Each structure stands twice: as C-alpha cells, then as structure tokens.
A and B are shown apart, each in its own frame.
Chain A
Amino acid sequence: MVGAGMVLAVNGLAAAAGVAAGMRRRQAEALCPAVVTLAADPAADAAAFEVVATAVEDLVPRVEVADPGLLFVPVSGAVGYYGGEVPLVARVAAAVDEAGGQGGRLGLADGPFAARLAAAAAGDGPVVLADTRAFLASLDVAVLGREEMAATLRWLGVTTLGALAALPREAVASRFGLPGLEAHRLAAGEDRGVRPRSLPEDLAVEERFDPPLRDLEQAAFAARSLAHRLIEGLGPWGGAPHRVVVEAGSPSGETRSRTWRSADPFGEAEVAERVRWQLRAWVESGGVPGGLAVLRLAPADRSDRGRQLSLGEDAASELEATRALARAQALVGPEAVLQARPQGGRRPGERVQWHRWGEPAAPPDRDPRAPWPGRLPGPSPALVPPAPRPLEVEWDGGSPERVRLGSRWEPVLAWAGPWRQTGRWWAGEGPADCYQVVTSAGALLFEVRDGSCYLAAVYD
C-alpha cells in the first residue's frame, strides 16, 4: 500500500521479496516487479480495523485507536481479571486472529511508546516486556521519530535511548527545548508526561440531529463543525487533546463509542478526519440503528501546551480563513466549496481534479506530468461549462464563418484547428474535432462531434 510515493504497508509475500514500509514505490517495484500497489485509504482501513477494535474491546474496555491498524489497550485492570499478563495477551491475540487480524503484532509494556516499539519488534508471538526501561535503553535514537534531533544526538555520541536517558534532563531540555524534554521522558520509560491543567471538567461538544442523519456525508460534515467547536472551546486554555472520544447515539438511546489517540495534540482537521473515519467504520459494521441522532466529541489527556506554530505562520489569519470558509460551506453545502489540483487530460475541464475544501484530495486519476499529446497549450480558457453546450456554427466549406452567441450571429475573425480528440471510445464516446475561434465578442473553444457543434470553453 502506497501513499505520497512511499510504501506504507506490505503483505507477507512482498516482505519476503525484500519490500519494506518506508521504501520509495519505485524501489519496491524494482525489488519485486510483480508487486501490486494499492493507494492508501485510511477511511477504508479504519472501517476494516473496526472489527478488530470491537473484538479487543469485548475483552478489555476503553481501547484507543491511534491509527487504523494501531490499537492501544489499557491493561492495568484487565491483567488481574484474566490472571496475569501472559494469559491476557494470549486472549487478545486469539480475539484479534478470530476477527480477521491474522499477522497482528502485540506488545505489552509500561506505556504506549514502549508498547508500540515492542509490538513492532514482535515476530510470530507477542512481546511482553518485563523491564520496559531496559528494552528501551538498547534502541536507537531514531525510534523517537525526530530525525534532526537524532542526527544531533548521534553527533554528540548519544546513539541509544539508554544513553539519552542517562543524560541530565535539564541539560537535554536546555539543548533541545520542549521536544528534547519529551524525548528524554520517553527514553526514560516515563512515556508521554501529560500534566493536567485546571480546565473546566466538561469541554465535550455534541450535536443533536432531528431527524436523525442517515447519510454518511452529512454526518461527516456535521463532524467538522463539531471538531471546530471542540478545538475552539479548548483554545482559551491553550490546550489541545491527545485523545478524543467519539460517541454516536441512535434515536433509541443506543450509543457507540470509540477513543482515538495521537502522540501529538489533535488539531481541528485531525479530529474531523478521525471522526469521519470512525463514522464510516460504524456504517460498514452495521451502522447506528435508526440513524445518527447525537454526535458527541469529548477531549481527554489534554496537553499542557498549545500547538507550536512554525515561524511566519499566522495562526490568527489561518483560523479566520478556516472559519470563513466553514461558514460559506454551511451556507452552500460541502459540495459547493471546492479546491482543485492539476491532473492530466486533453480538454481544459479534464485537467482539473476537484475535491471538497477541507477534505483530503484523492490521488489524481490521470498523471499531470504525462505528455498528453493533443492537449491545447496555454493560455487556458477561464470558463468551461460543466457540460458541452450546443452551439450554432455556420460553415463555409471546412471553415467556420459565423457563430451564434445569444441572439446575435458573430463573424469569425480568426480560427485555428481542428484538433482531433479520440474521446473515450470504450465508453461509447465518438471522436471530436476542436476549434478555437476568435470573434469580436470573445474567443471560444468548440468541438464538433457527430455533426453537431458544442461550446467547450470560453477565453474570458
């Protein structure tokens, strides 16, 4: 599975051929020419993973999803209930297998950071760490996920987490600031040190829908405004959540709930994205009976710091712009607030891939870097009708003489073409000949297909 040209996940066959996550796609294809690559789809992954999360949740409550495929399970209470760490892990492993998560890796440690690394190190069987700190001490500083800091640490002769943990915390904080402090805590097995602030107890936000929502897109749209309210509500305290509990209620009072976790504090877009994934996962696993009547988001593990802005980033302007576009979206609907990016194609309208503002764009259907012979070079027309419109054209031999614009016939002053477009013959679309014409009322692009003329674009 690939995203942004990088391999994100591999199956056993690909791994056996030497393909590994983190490689570039071309490198993977060179290693294994028969490899089949699939585009990453986190929402589909979340939907597929929901079965596994539910199976584990049946054994241990309050599981937290960090990413589709990565689940954290708090086990302090469950260890006693199931009679020890090893029986608990065995039960969880069996539940994961039964839910279709064969090949899942399990790690048990004193905190999420070490548990994730233990799971990554697990082979066929689960890894249960007796001494988390000792396990961490042998790991390379690269596992901190901060390349620049890791490079500096190596240059200073600090290559393992054990060596980092042995340094005075004040010295690390002085050299690397807040990220250094967090890295030192992780290296020392203290995991993410959340210091709760004195915040109002209930910062949860909820929205009730009457009639209940039955359409996923409507619910996802509502989730965005709810995410906005959640983060905005935390704003005055400068906090951001590391965990968000998503709850969906049915008209009969039935509730489904899932907790999402992030190592970095959640922003508005991230919360909205997780809620969308979760809603899709619920829809694909039976849905909410009777439709979505209540959607509630509750923050947990609030960070003691706000989001760190990059230099030059104007948070106020960015926030204002986001709010303005969200308001416009509320007025005209999500389908009408759009962004576009280039994609390949011959006709002007084909070279644009639209997607809703605030939502990730799908990979382009057609490669914009491909040559696309027959494509009209710039300047591009500024206006393209959503579908070609019939146009009346008078011909003299093979030359267009006049075109009818509104109620008037405009003489053609100059023209160019035709350029033959073969069209999507496999979809029953015939070939078309494209002409550029210049009149005293403007310049147009029109096409002739099956003996009829259609306006394709206006150079305005």
Chain B
Amino acid sequence: MTELSAEHCYHCGLAVPAGANYSQMIGDKLRAMCCPGCAAVAATIVGSGLGSFYKFRSAANTLANETSLELFLDWDIPDIQNEFISQRGQGQQSILLFIDNISCAACTWLIEKHLGKLTGIETVNVNGTTMRAEVIWNPEQLRLSEILNAIHQIGYIASPINDSSDIPEIKDQTRQLLLRLGVAGLAMMQAGMVAIALYAGSFQGMQQEWQTLLRLVSLLFVTPVVFYSAQPFFSNAWRSLKMRHLIMDVPVALAISLAYVASLYATFQGAFQGAFNESTGSASGEVYFDSISMFIFFLLLGRFAEQRIRHKNLLSLNRGNRLPPVTTQVFPPEHYSFEQSEKSARGHRIVPIKTLMEGDFIRVDSGQTIPCDGIIQSGDTQVSEALLTGESNPLTKQAGDAVYAGTINGANPLVIKVSATGSDTKLSTILKLAERAAMHKPRWASLADHVAGWFIGALLIIASSVAWYWYLHDPERALWITLSVLVVTCPCALSLATPTALSVASSVLRREGFLINRSYVLELLPKIGRVIFDKTGTLTEGNLTLRHIEPAAENSAVNKFISTRQILGWAATLEQGSQHPIARALQQYVAGPIEQQQFVTGSGVSGSINGDQFAFGNPKWVAEIAGIELPNNRGQGAQKKDSMHSKGIEVALARNGQWIAKLYFGDQLRESAHPAVRQLRSKGLSVSLLSGDPSPAAAEIVQPLALCDYQFSLQPEQKLQTLQQLQAQGQSVLMVGDGINDVPVLQAADISVAMGQASELSQINADVILLCNDLRALPRAIAVAAKTRRIIKQNISWAIGYNLIALPLAASGYVPPWAAAIGMSASSLIVLVNALRISRGLRN
C-alpha cells in the first residue's frame, strides 16, 4: 500500500544516507534500509513470517533504534513492575503497555502475531485507537523484559503504564455517544419509513384513522431519540443559559423541543378530532418527527467524529517515552563516604526513583537522565541541560556543582547527593509555571457560538412578531404558522456548518502529523502573519554529523597511506562507549577494541589501539597530550576550545605524537526546512528565527534558508518582548518550539506548535503538536485551514440564505410542512457534503 522509492528506507521512509549499505529481502525484492536499526527490525519481521505486514500497512513506520535485552532488565525488578502488574488466576499476570508509534491497523496485527509466538504469552490484545496493548502472560516462562524487548525488536516503543488516568473516562464517553448515535440512527430509519407513508398520504389522501396511527408510531420511535440521544444538547444548553452565555446548543435544543411539542400536539389533536369529528380531516397541525430524528442523528454524527479526533490526539501524546528513568542506583549511606572514589563504593542497588529520599547518594552512569536535583559528590562530566535551558551544548560540571532532574549526564559516571525529588525539583517548578501561563492565555470564542448569540435573538424576535401578526389577523392559524416558522428556521444547517468542517479538517491534518489540541487553531491559522521558530533546533536535526575531514598537511607523506575510512575507524574506536554527541555521530564506524581509554571532560579522549597511542579531542588539548606543536594552518581559531567556525566544531586526531587529521562536526538543517520556509514565504508570511543559541554556529546553519530575519543569543524574556512587540503591531504569530524553558514564550504566541520530540508537558500546553517533525506540515496546515475557513463561510452563508428565503414564505403561511421538512434535511445534507470537500484534493 505504501510504495517508497529506491533511495528511501523501505521500513521508515527516511532518505537512505549516502554510503549506508543496509538492506533486507522482503517478499521477493531486496529493499534498501537506512540504518542497522531499521534493517534489524525488518529482518525480525520477515524472519518471523510476518512479512506481509509491509503489504498491508497504510503508513511508513518510524525510524527504528537498535535494541537489546539489557535496556529493559530494570523492569524485572519486582518493586518496579508491581505497580503496573495485576495478578490473574493460574499464576498469570497482566500488564497494560502504551505503544508509542502505532500508525495503522497492520501495526496492531504485527504486534499481536509477533508477541503471540513467544512461549509463555497467554493473550495479547492491541487496541489501535487507544494505542494500548494488554498482555497476559505466565511469569515463570517469560520475563517482562523479554516482552518489552520483543516489541522493540519489531520497531515499536512500548512502556508499561498505569491507566488510572483519563482512559476509562474516554472509553465511557465514546461508548455513551456511540449508543446515543445508534439509537438515533435506528429511530431515524424507522421514522423516515413511516414519514414516506405519511407524505404519500397527504398527497393522495388518507383516512384520519391511518394518519393518526402512523403519527403515533413515529412518535413512539422519536421519543427515545429526543429524551435519550439528544440529551447532551439539552444539558449543554441549560448549562450555558445558567452561565448567561448563548452557545449553538441553545437554538438547537429550542428547535428540537418546539418541533417535538408541536408534533405531539398535532398528533393528539388529530387523534381527538378524528374521534369526535371525521370531517375536519388533517387540516390543522403537522408532524415533524422524521426531521427531528434526522437532525439529531446528523448532529450526533458530527459530534462523534469530532470527539474521536480529540480523543485520538489526547491518547497519542507521547506518554511514558519521555519520562525520567524509573530506576536508579542508590548507595546505602553507610557504604558511601566522601573519601571513597565512586569506583570503590560497593553495594549500590537498583531502586525505583520514587523511593529516593533527600540525602541519598545515587550513581548516574554516562548517557543516563539524572532523576532528581542534587549536588555532584564525585566525578566530572558534561551535562546537557537542553530540557531546562534550551542550550544544546553540554555544560562541564564537577564535584560540588548542582545538577537538575531531567538533564542528561553526557560523559562520565557521577555520584550525586540528592537534594530534591519529585515535585520539588527545578523541573517541576518550571512545569508548574508553564501550567499557570497556560491558564492565562486568552481563548478565542468559536465562530459558531458567536453566530448563535444573534441568531437566537433574531429568531425569537421574528417568531414572536409573526405570532403577533397572525394572532391579530387570523388567530385560528397563528399557532401553526408560528411553529412552521420555527421549524423552517431550525438551525440545523447553521449548527452543522462549523463543526463538520472543523472535524473533517482536523482529521485530514492528523494524517499529516499535525495534531490539533485546541479547537480555535483552525479558525486562527489563516490569520497568522508571521511564523517564528523559537530555536535553531526546530529547523535542524538537533544532532551532530560529520561534515568534513582534513588530513594534516605536514604529514602528507605518511597520510598518503591512511584512508578516510581508517581515520574514521580510529576516531570512532576512541570515542566508543561515550554518549557525547560527537561519539554518536561516529558510532557507525567503530572498528575494534581500545585499551587505556581515558575521557577528559571538555577536552577529548586518549587511548591505545593495536599498540599505537592516539588522542582525539580539541586541538589544543591533543597538542598538549601528544607533546607536539599546534598545526598553524588554522591560526587563532584553533586555539579556542571546541571552536566554532564556518566548518563547525573542530576536533583533532593524533597518533604517536603525529597529527593525523582534523574532523569537523556540525548540526544540519532538516530536510523539510527549505521547502517549508519557501512555501510559507510564498504564502506571504514572514518567517523569523528567535534563537537562544550563541550566534556564529547557528547563523551559519540557517544561512541558506531565506528567513526574513533572525536574532541570536536571546534570553527567554527578550524573546517574549520581541513577540509582544510584533503582536502590538497587530501581527498574529505562530511559534514553533520544543523547550520547556520557552513555554512562557510559546504560550504568549497566538498559536504554539510543539515538535514531536518535545517533552510531554510542553506538548500538552501547546496548541498543536507536529508529530512527524516534517516542517512542511506547517504550510499545508495553513492551506487546509484557509480552505476550511472558506467552506465554513460557504456553509454559513448557505444556511443563512436558506433561512432568509424560507422564513418570509413560512411567515406568510405558504410553506407546506413536508416542504419545510425536506428543505431542512436537504440543507443539512448540503452542508455535510460541502464539508467533506476539505479532504479532497489534499491527499498526496
């Protein structure tokens, strides 16, 4: 179903990097893979006979990472899994897993089949809508870590969750609405069938007896629709009236109840008249039962679609995945003293993080997330505080420095004395500030509710003047004409006009990876005049890649015999085991073991490979350690630590006291950044970058983009100021960001967009989540929003136009009730079909 071109990874759909040589036989074709992770996943899927997954999937998978059982061993500790596991009979256990990247129905099938093959698995039930899997297994035959690893082997990210939260509520709401919808649907069909007989009867003539019978039957069908299915409209209307605020549900509830009461009256009046006087026939009073049930059914259908999209967005927020680690290594106080180095401290054990107390000593290995606030006791390292400050370069920290929860230990193992945990950490404080900021954001009243205010006012005034006029001139007909005015002006089309268009648009955008959290986004998007990227990281990939290798000039004779491959092999081997961004950029070139490996924080790494002494790091440090002169071809620039210049970060490699090469690393623009900026500008929008990064490196990266303006080295307050100045000039601003520290700025923007990798909280606070990290979704969303706006306008003008024509006719008594009912239903259908046009022409 998803066909990908040759140069794209068959598994995840990303471009295959030049030189990468991974592939996998799928079906009878050899398919290219972008990385060992994807290749391993595809091999597992095909190897377990589930290769037909690729035929049935309707979306490309997400990029896979390599996995190993060790990553999940923590989950086998009873203290940790107990919280998530419930015991079933016969020695079985069950657990609920959140699966992060289910994209289509084929995914649920793949996971169920793959897990089902493990011995010890009793049942696996994957729900594609809630992205949850319930696994029942026998703990004596299978460990939890093996289950998690098996899911990761086929490329999905699973994490145990506790569903005490909002899931049961969502399930109840969905079921309730589905029941109301089903009842309305069944009753609508029955009432419609009876209505055909009634209409035929009113053309061809029908005995009073049969007419009354049929009316009573349709009354029977419609009564549960009014009292059960339409109940949410009544309760919403009542709530809004109590708050002295008119919403669309008020005229809806009014129309339903008036039409119902009038039909009820007509039915029984006809019945009594029929009993007493055969000759009067059906002259007075008409029934609208079929129109009522149809109207309620369509309204509920719209609401159901809207609720489904909202719930799906809520459920697919990255939960679990971004949480701090669940366990940590703690030293019992009696085993740890300051004199001991971290290596000799014994007896550390693994405990759940929530049991940590202030004053505990914990060990954080390199590459791990620090679980709490604390003071470093021993070890020096580099810590990435990107989550807190947005600063992507790691900071050097040593004993006595404070570290914060949520930051990542980049280089060496640390021993930390815990100073704050849980809700007392700096991270939580920032999160609370963000939540408060979110509450103060002004909300846009939706267009439909805005219209509802004057609509219901006008309706009541017109209806009462019509009643007054006919009461003076022809009191016999006054009641029926007034009622037909009310039914004709029923706000069906008007109340369907906006929600149907909005829910079609949201589901179209959802498929593009553009998740809308707040309903006003679609109405606001077309008014946006400026798009601001709040940091360089939103435009770039956010990790270092190798840009350029420069063999050392003075050793050209030696270097003739050294290939680029060899240089990379040495550098990667030296860096292996480190979590530094440079080490990660070189990961794929590792070639063999290393001895005497020694990391020096902030400088580099040294060690010996096959007996040769190597040093790799910033040129000045390498010169010192190798006892050689700095190569002078770089001049002053090379003196600077981690110097940034036009080629990126400069790192030197030396062997046995000789320069070998210099390697340059840098971040690179996202593939989608260029087209996205171009498309935004061609729509007449200004695009700017307000970055907190220090200028030279960042400026150089974004240079090729045709940004309107960019500013660097900004503090969050300065960003906020700039933003508010722009807003004061009357511009509406859409802001794209991902850091928690920038949440106040994001909140101040008219629309905030969080990237898919952003932390859970900034995602919840953002108006929009860009799940696919494809920036081109932005211009596409603006286009969809503009189209939606156009369609809403068409729908509303149609609805109002219809009312304007029908109203005078009904008020003068010329509209027969069957025409009123057909007009009412047809105008609703036209609005629905028009809304569906949004999804046309945008696919592909």
A, B from the same assembly: no
